[in-house]
Amino acid sequence: MNKVGILALSSLQETLKDRLLAGLLLLGTAILIALVFMAPMTLGARDKTYHDFGLAWIHLSAFLILIVLGAWSLHRERERGIWVIILARPVTRGEYLLGRSLGLLGGLVMTVLAFTALYLLISHLAGIAPLPGLHWALLYTIMEMSILAGLVIFFSSVSGFAMTVFLSLAVFLAGHLAGDLIRFASLTESPALAKAALAMHWFLPQLEIYRIRDGLVSGAQPSAAAVGQAVLYTLLYGSALFVLSLAAFGRKELR
């Protein structure tokens, strides 16, 4: 486990010192400050608008950091032959993949916390009351990004950088629309299309279960059962992705 920790720490350091992170922080600062000064245009809903856009910014920034830095770091290691150097040592492919996965998740958590600290600082300076249930929004964001991190690791194991980014974006969008496949299957007159739609529904990650931002901004809180189901789903789907990534990476020829 010491080898896994070293690999995870190196991945985390690469994420935190990347310029994309600093750029997103600066962009987020400008957007959130602009929202505060646009209060007269929100018709008395300044706080709600600020929280809605603030949480959306945290979510989108974490996603961009994840797919760009996650995919690029693994691609860079492959192109420079770092994979070969590391695996030439007494490090198994499973340890390598686990270390990189934990490093990517650690960078994700640090990113979400940094963006949240900025969001809370600006809201405090602007006199905007904290959002009740903010911790739930952060937990659900981290769980969703954990699923996407598993997808990035898997796609990076079987394809190049550009294809990994494209496939990750495609699955992210499709995962939020997976529920529509059930409705499509019930409406289509083609049995083949209905079966295909149902198969895709169960294959794609159900990312809509992590979308609680609108409810939180409106004052609703997730139930204990909903939280438990989301945590269990994240663990099961994430574990399945890691097993698939390990199987694909195990057969990959390193050069």
State residue 1's pLDDT score.
53
**Per-residue pLDDT at 90:** 72
Helix axes 134-158, 161-176, angle to 10 degrees: 140
From first CA to last CA, the distance across the chain in angstroms is 26
Which of 133-137, 179-183, 250-254 shows the highest mean pLDDT?
133-137
Q: pLDDT category, 198, cuts 50, 70, 90? A: confident
Residue 201: pLDDT above 80? no
* Residue 228 confidence (pLDDT): 92
Range list of H helices, the chain: 2-16, 19-37, 46-79, 82-87, 93-125, 134-158, 161-176, 178-187, 191-203, 213-217, 224-250
Residue 140: per-residue pLDDT: 92
Q: Which pLDDT tens digit goes with each residue over 24-37?
A: 667 777 777 776 66
252 pLDDT higher than 60: yes
CB 160 within 8 A of CB 168: no
What is the pLDDT, as a whole number, of residue 230?
92
> Residue type at 195?
K
* 50, 131 Cβ separation under 8 angstroms: no
Mean local confidence (pLDDT), 92-104: 78
pLDDT category of residue 170 using cuts at 50, 70 and 90: confident
Say yes or no to pLDDT of 97 above 90: no
For residues 101 and 10, is the Cβ–Cβ distance under 8 A?
no
Residue 73 confidence (pLDDT) above 90 = no
Residue 45: pLDDT above 80? no
| 121 pLDDT above the threshold of 90 | no
164-to-36, 170, 185 alpha-carbon distances in Å: 37, 10, 29
Share of the chain above pLDDT 90, in %: 7
- Residue 242 pLDDT exceeds 90: no
46-69: average pLDDT? 81
* pLDDT tier, 16 (very low <50, low <70, confident <90, very high otherwise): low
pLDDT at 87 over 70: no
Q: Residue 69 in contact with residue 110, Cβ under 8 Å?
A: no
Q: How confident is the model at residue 236 (pLDDT cuts 50, 70, 90)?
A: very high
Q: Where are the domains of the chain?
A: 2-250
